[in-house]
Amino acid sequence: MPVRGRNQSAQALHVHGRLFLLDCGEGTQNAMVEHKIPMMKLDSLFLTHIHGDHVFGIFGLLSTLGMKGRQMPLNIYAPVNFGPILKFFLSYYGDGIGFEIRYTPLKMKEPETILETKSLRVQAFPLNHGIETFGFRFEEKDPPFNVHKDAIGKYGLTLTEIGTLKRGEDVVRADGCVIPAEEAAYKPFVPRSYAYVTDTAPFPEEADWVRGTTILYHETTYLEELADQGAQRHHSTTLQAAHLAQEAGVGKLLIGHFSSRNVNGKAYEAECRKVFPNTFATSDGQEYEIFL
C-alpha cells in the first residue's frame, strides 16, 4: 500500500560501469530522475515476480526510454508469466519503442547463471512466494593477477613471463631459476557479491544459495509479532532474515519491503540486530558501496 516517503520496490545497481535495475515498482522512473540515476544508461532489468508493487512502473519506464530515443537494446530477465504482460504493453504502446527488448524468461529449480561478462556473473534462483519468484546474486569474477612493478625491473621480466605471472603461474626459466607468482604478482581485489532476495518465506536451500555474499538485501515485511501473517502470505519476518544472514555467513544485511502498517524501519532493524548485528534498514535514496 502507498506510504508517504516510501516508493515501491526498485534498486539501481552499478557494477563495473554497467547499470542494472532490480524490480520496477510504481514511480520508479520518477525516483530515478529524483536520485539522478541515468535511465538511458540502463543495461538490464531484473524482475523478481509480477506482483504490482514490483512491476507497475515498467510501462512508464519503457515508454520514457522510447520517447528519449533510446537505441541500445534493453535486457529484461523476468519470470515466464511476465511474457504476456510485455506482449500486452508492446501491442498497445510498442509503436513508440525504437529499441530492441531482449526478454529472457526465467524458469529454474535451482541457481542458474543468466548473465556472464568478463568480470561479472549473475545467477537467478527460485524463491518461496506462492507464485513464480526469483532472487538474484551478482558476483565479481576472480580478477587476473597484477605484477609488481619492482619485480619487472628486478627480474628483467619479458612480456611472456609477465603473462605467465598474470595467470598466477610461476615463471620457470631455462637455467632453472624460478620466479614465484606469490612473490611477483598479486590479486588487485577480492571478488565482491550482492544478493537481492524479495519476496519470499524461508525455505531450506536459501542459506546455501546466498552463502558468503558480501551484502544481502532481504525482505522483512513483518516484525516478529506478525510471523503468522508472514507464513500465510509467503513473506519473511525480521528474525527469519537475520537468522538466514547468520547461517549464510553474509557480510552485511540490508532489509526493506516493510509492511505499510509500520513507518519506522528502525523497529525492524532493532529486531534483526538481536541476531545479526550488522543489519541496516533501508530507505528511499540511500546509497551503499559494496566492499569487503
Q: Are residues 168 and 215 in the same domain?
A: no
User: Which of 53, 142, 208, 228 is an active site residue?
Assistant: 53
According to DSSP, the β-strands at 193-197 and 134-140 are antiparallel
44 occurs within a structural domain: no
Query: CA 162, CA 219: separation in Å to the nearest integer?
Result: 46
Q: Grid coordinates in use for 25?
A: 515498482
- pLDDT tens-digit map of 187-231: 999 999 999 999 999 999 999 999 999 999 999 999 999 999 999
What pLDDT sits at residue 197? 98
Judging by beta carbons within 10 Å of its beta carbon (0-12, 13-18, 19+), is residue 144 exposed, middle or buried?
Answer: middle
pLDDT range class, residue 5, cuts 50, 70, 90: confident
SS3 108: coil
Question: What average pLDDT does the chain have?
Answer: 96
pLDDT at 85: 98
> Quick one: 165 and 207 in the same domain?
no
Longest alpha-carbon distance in the chain: 75
Are the beta carbons of 200 and 230 closer than 8 angstroms? no
Boundary-marking domain end, from 164, 186, 208: 186
- pLDDT of 89 reads 97
Respond yes or no: is residue 208 known to be catalytic.
Answer: no
176 and 196 belong to one structural domain: no
Give the pLDDT mean for 171-191: 94
Task: Please answer whether residues 21 and 15 qualify as being in contact, where contact means their C-beta atoms are separated by less than 8 angstroms.
Answer: no
Based on the domain organization, do 159 and 218 belong to the same domain? no
What does the pLDDT read at residue 126? 98
Radius of gyration of the chain from its Cα atoms, rounded to whole angstroms: 22
What are the pLDDT digits (tens) for 235-264? 999 999 999 999 999 999 999 999 988 878
What is the domain extent for residue 205?
A: 190-292
Strand partners, 106: 79
Give the model's pLDDT for residue 264. 84
Say if residue 276's pLDDT is above 80: yes
pLDDT in tens, 24-63: 999 999 999 999 999 999 999 999 999 999 999 999 999 9
- Please report whether residue 10 resides in a domain: no
CA distance 162 to 149: 10
Give me the residues paired with residue 2 across strands.
Answer: none
